[in-house]
Structure 1
Amino acid sequence: MDWDKLRIFHAVADAGSLTHAGDKLNLSQSAVSRQIRGLEEQLNTNLFHRHARGLILTEQGELLFDATAAMSRRLDTAAARIRDSEEEVFGELRVTTTTGFGTLWLAPRLPKLYEKYPDLKVDLMLEERVLDLPMREADVAIRMKEPSQADLIRKKLMMIRMCLYASPAYLEANGTPQRIEDMSDHRLICQNTDSDQVGAGVTLIQQLMMHDVRSLLTVNNYFGVLQGVLHDLGIGVLPNYLTDDFPDLVQVLPQTQSADVPVFLAYPEELRQSQRVSAFKDFVQDEIISYRRRLKDS
């Protein structure tokens, strides 16, 4: 099968338009159209439904697009590995992690990574959905549980716990609870138990809710919970890695906290030799070592 035709088909399917694909490929619309017709004749099938607003893939077209998308990802991987050299770290690195960890721990530390590797381009994808690393939806993942996907290199970075925190101003105005039963006199700020979060966090929230919490603010990520705590709205359920960057937060009811939650870094086996991945992995590990030392000294 002619790779040029497949390449043009992939561009058209991705853009949904002959014109937009032609602009991307620096080809005329007529040239793109001829290549698509030639591919359809070769396969003896229609690959697109054509209508006034653009092109939609047929069932056969979707099958072919899945195949060309996989080929494209493999080519991107090969190109990235070729570009990586022993001395230099450059190019795009796609990193996925949760919204909470990405905004509250990772992003504030990235200036150190860019200072060391100014030509690196990090695409930080913050979402609770677990992306498929072997299919190259991302290059590196940091997750709050051990990845189950095959063909991954994984490393446990640290253990965290979900704890209760409040601002000094809130506690001065409302008092500090001494027992978990005292939470009924305070506003609890947490994620809704139906939202995506670590299971240990859900268990802790459920435990707290059993004590007749009358006032509640729920947010769908830890960044929002932190903002509520910082603005003196109540007592929040937050990961304990925040204490490094927010030392003024006061831990409330220190005996009330979640079970340990492991934090893992993972990347595909095929990126084992990638200088970008190695640089990012070393950076994260160095930051965690520094974080542990500060906690020990505090």
Structure 2
Amino acid sequence: MAESERMNQAAKPLAWDDFRLIKAIADKRALPAAAAALGVNHSTVFRRLGQIEEALGTKLFERHRSGYVATPAGEEMIQLAGRVDDDITAFSRKLAGQEIKPAGELRVATNDSLLVDLLTPLFARFLAQCPDIRLDILIGNQAANLSKRDADVAIRATDNPPETLVGRKPARIAWALYGRAADFPDAELPSRESLWERSWVSLGDQFTMLSAVRYLARHVTPERVVYKLNTVLGLAEAVEAGIGIGFLPCFIGDTRPGLRRFGEPDPDLAADLWLLTHPDMRHTPRVRLFLDFLAVELGRLKPLVEGERPIGRTAAPVGAPAESQLP
């Protein structure tokens, strides 16, 4: 390449896409993974990286066995890309917060059990009342990054919501111990000692942040836990199928006639139910309307969510006296 051509190429201003590409390589440390994140093919990333490095006249990455490692020049470009990305995200949030009517798409992050056993009827009523809003539901147990607009609202069970978010706490999710009703036909509830000797179902080790999982690990020997899941969604089905007894959220267990509850909900196993959003989004009409609606609807369901019903029965009147409880 002629010296004049090289100088002209070096003088060409960098585009935002160039920064995005360099940041993706730094984040993923491999070209195929960076290409997947950017939605392009591997050869395109390889070619564009070479073009950027040639235009700048310096290497941005060294290739090691552990992956692509940024050079000092690459680190500087990556830091600048991060700042620009944050500024663009903040600008998008600011504009979204200036909506003048509740309309458009609303991205809501939650988990599968809350969606299936509690939230879907509420979402249906909300959409019927607000036909100009569309819901995009994101399911997962990992917290969505609301600062990056992965979602507009998160609905989570947690006692430690991120300090960077704001929200409301309409109820506290109660957990209790359940078994298949057909396996416990006697009016008198079994003793705690006899229950420890039964087969159990539980969430997997990746759910140790939940008090119910830690409690079970302390009191039940590992060989008694015959069935583990990585989702709350299948837990009630396992108990109802007779695989074993287990702890369930009361809003799931108390609505199933095939299950029997063995005691009052344990306050130490409960977790707060939060409706969360980013501070920049809380005054957005569609977000504010959605949070207001859910706060009211979940408030009406508070007795169910907090397990206020007689022990050993399903769908009994709220506030009736308990028959007995687990010692």
Normalising by the residue count of structure 1, what TM-score does the alignment of the two structures yield? 0.71
Q: Does 1:112 align with 2:121?
A: no
1:126 to 140, 145, 155: 140
Identical residues among aligned pairs (%): 17
What residue is the counterpart of 2:101 in the other structure? Answer: 87
Q: 1:34 to 1:126 in 2, by over 3 A?
A: closer
TM-align CA RMSD = 4.3
> Within 5 A, what are the aligned runs for 1:154-165?
154-165=167-178
Shift of 1:239: 0.9
Letter in 2 for 1:250: L
Alpha-carbon contact 1:201-1:258 (below 8 Å) kept: no
What residue is the counterpart of 1:12 in the other structure? Answer: 21
1:231 to 236, 241, 247: 241
CA distance in 1, matches of 2:94, 2:187: 57
What secondary structure, in the 3-state scheme, does the structure 1 residue paired with 2:207 have? coil
CA distance in 1, matches of 2:239, 2:207: 20
Q: 1:6 to 1:117 in 2, by over 3 A?
A: farther
Shift of 1:62: 5.6
Q: Does 1:96 align with 2:109?
A: yes
What residue is the counterpart of 1:75 in the other structure? Answer: 88
CA distance in 1, matches of 2:168, 2:265: 28
Q: 1:177 to 1:214 in 2, by over 3 A?
A: farther
Could you tell me which runs of 5 or more consecutive residues in structure 2 were left unpaired when the two chains were aligned.
1-10, 26-30, 310-316, 319-327
> What is the aligned residue count?
279
Q: Deviations over 1:231-260 (max 9, x none)?
A: 23232211112246x342534221463523
CA distance in 1, matches of 2:53, 2:62: 16
Q: 1:149 to 1:261 in 2, by over 3 A?
A: closer
Alpha-carbon contact 1:140-1:265 (below 8 Å) kept: yes
Q: Does 1:270 align with 2:285?
A: no
CA distance in 1, matches of 2:228, 2:49: 56
Choose 281-290 or 7-16, whichever is displaced more: 7-16
What residue is the counterpart of 1:166 in the other structure? Answer: 179
Q: 1:198 to 1:151 in 2, by over 3 A?
A: closer
1:279 to 268, 285, 289: 289
CA distance in 2, matches of 1:85, 1:91: 12
Letter in 2 for 1:115: A
Choose 262-271 or 100-109, whichever is displaced more: 100-109
Shift of 1:292: 2.6
CA distance in 2, matches of 1:184, 1:97: 32
Could you tell me which runs of 5 or more consecutive residues in structure 1 were left unpaired when the two chains were aligned.
none
Q: Deviations over 1:44-77 (max 9, x none)?
A: 6433569xxxx95734446534543553354245
